[in-house]
C-alpha cells in the first residue's frame, strides 16, 4: 500500500510540476495568484506524501525497538 501511495504521489508531483511550467498563470490577477497558490499547496502535499510513503524496510534500529517491546511484553506476561 505504501508503494502504491508513493507511485501516485510521484505521478501527481510530476504532473503538477508540468502544468505549472506549461500553463504558468498571470500573477497580476487574483485568479492567477489563487491558481498558483493552489499548485504550490498541491506540490507540498505530494512531497509530504512521498516522504511518508518511502518504504523503510527492516533496519537494525526497527529490529532493536521491536526486540525491546517484545522483552517488555514478556516481563509482564504471567506465563
Yes or no: say if 6 and 50 are a contact pair by the CB < 8 Å rule: yes
Grid cell 534500529 is found at 61
1-58 tens-digit pLDDT:
788 888 999 999 999 999 889 988 889 999 999 999 999 999 999 999 889 888 776 5
User: Which DSSP state fits 54?
Assistant: -
Per the CB < 8 A criterion, the answer to whether 36 and 25 are in contact is: yes
pLDDT score for 72: 73
Question: In the chain, where are the structural domains located?
Answer: 2-76
Kindly report the pTM of this predicted structure. Answer: 0.64
Amino acid at each position: 500500500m505504501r508503494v502504491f501511495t508513493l507511485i501516485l504521489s510521484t505521478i501527481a508531483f510530476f504532473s503538477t510540476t508540468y502544468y505549472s511550467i506549461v500553463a504558468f498563470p498571470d500573477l497580476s490577477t487574483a485568479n492567477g495568484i489563487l491558481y498558483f497558490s493552489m499548485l504550490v499547496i498541491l506540490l507540498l502535499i505530494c512531497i509530504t506524501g512521498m516522504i511518508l510513503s518511502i518504504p523503510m524496510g527492516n533496519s537494525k534500529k526497527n529490529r532493536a525497538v521491536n526486540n525491546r517491546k517484545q522483552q517488555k511484553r514478556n516481563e509482564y506476561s504471567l506465563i
